[in-house]
Amino acid sequence: MGNSLADVMPSVVSSFGIAGPNPLGVEPNRDVVVLLIDGLGSELIARHADIAPTLTGHVRHVLRAGFPATTATSLTSLAVGAPCAVHGLIGYSFAVQTGDGSRVLNALRWTLDSAHGPDARDAVRPESTQPADSRLQDLAAHGIDVHYVVPGYQATSGLTRAAFRATGTVHPATTLADVREGILAVAADGGARSRFAYAYYPNLDMIGHLHGPESPEWVAELAAVDRAVADLFTDLPDTCTLVVTGDHGMIRAGVSIDIDAEPALRDGVRLIAGEARVRHVHARTPAARGDVAAAWADVLGRHALVVTREQALDERWFGPVVPAPEIVDRIGDLIAVAQGDAVLVRPETEPLESTMAGHHGAWTSDEQLVPLVTNR
């Protein structure tokens, strides 16, 4: 299967001289910055090497994001250094137990029922939902200064609390100029103590969702990202290693299937979670699972692969280890993975997501493969 996004932070930790594997061969240096460009797919930038010469010219590895290829899962896999079978954030949304029974947690927004539902940070505590230590905690424990160059709201978000866990200095950054300024500020300190920074830029993904990957708007944004990375390669001191990667790629939506408008897809179903490329379907009762599986396979046909939870676990979709029982319970009784350019939308429950031109999550190379770009 090759290397994955979960190999990045173990390699960074090892490069600081802390015992552990370094599968990506990150070289020792005083400081390291990991810049995650949301939506930076390896296949996508390879097709646009002419407008992204710095990124494509400095790809050291092509990584798999892991399943599902979605932001909440990928960022946690990056931070923890393990796939979601370990950390348990198995998708954009998934079933959790609350005081009001089983509900859907939107892991990206950390809200209940939908992206615009009530704040879930108290009802579903992030540190309990994802109990594994992060590799940033390892760095802090060994005296490495931890910094975050991220949009300000992310500093206390549920996802940040669940995934990254280590306290650190926050450099609020919304624009590419902000990201550049924050990274240079981290690297400019002339002291002997080492620093690590996690930096994040969301706009390539946002534009891909709104206009579609490889649209003129997306291409223009990719060109801007490439220029920003080129500037950092020039301006960073030799004491700082910059590692650039993505959390997933993206496909343009083609066939759109409104799963809420199909009565057969609701019969016997208790909860539907996930996102438009990967749906978790929870049956009302164990006895209903067979009929639900048959209905979903029949209605979706060639547009989706419908498998049982057991098959997905047997085939290690979520990682090579067997998940803990509480994580297994978050996985649907059935998983429907969209095929080709199909999307499984829910306009009433997910009105914004259902109008998007770009989507990700499933198994295609355009969604799964992300680059590892470095200046060293």
For the chain, domain boundaries:
5-83+130-250+364-374, 256-355
80 vs 158: CA distance, rounded Å: 15
Chain centre distance of CA 34? 14
pTM, to two decimals: 0.97
In CATH terms, the superfamily for domain 5-83+130-250+364-374 is Alkaline Phosphatase, subunit A (3.40.720.10)
Kindly list the distances between the CA atom of residue 258 and the CA atoms of 255, 299, 345, in Å, as whole numbers in the listed order. Answer: 10, 11, 5
- Model confidence over 191-203: pLDDT tens digits? 788 999 999 999 9
Picking from 242, 146, 144, 229, the residue whose alpha carbon sits closest to that of residue 194 is: 144
Structure tokens at 134: 């992060």
CA 103 to centroid of chain Cα atoms: 22
Locate all alpha helices (DSSP H) within 50-200, ordered by sequence: 53-57, 71-80, 84-87, 126-129, 135-141, 158-163, 176-188
> Which of 110, 74, 45, 42 has its CA nearest to residue 200?
74
Phi, psi of 139 (to 5 degrees): -60, -50
pLDDT tens-digit profile, the chain (376 residues): 589 999 999 999 999 999 999 999 999 999 999 999 999 999 999 999 999 999 999 999 999 999 999 999 999 999 999 999 999 999 999 999 998 889 999 999 999 999 999 999 999 999 999 999 999 999 999 999 999 999 999 999 999 999 999 999 999 999 999 999 999 999 997 778 899 999 999 999 999 999 999 999 999 999 999 999 999 999 999 999 999 999 999 999 999 999 999 999 999 999 999 999 999 999 999 999 999 999 999 999 999 999 999 999 999 999 999 999 999 999 999 999 999 999 999 999 999 999 999 999 999 999 999 999 999 8
Residue 189: predicted pLDDT: 76
CATH level 2 (architecture), domain 256-355: 2-Layer Sandwich (3.30)
Angle of the 203-211 helix axis to the 216-235 helix axis, nearest 10: 170
SS3 per residue for 82-100: CCHHHHCCCCCEEEEEECC
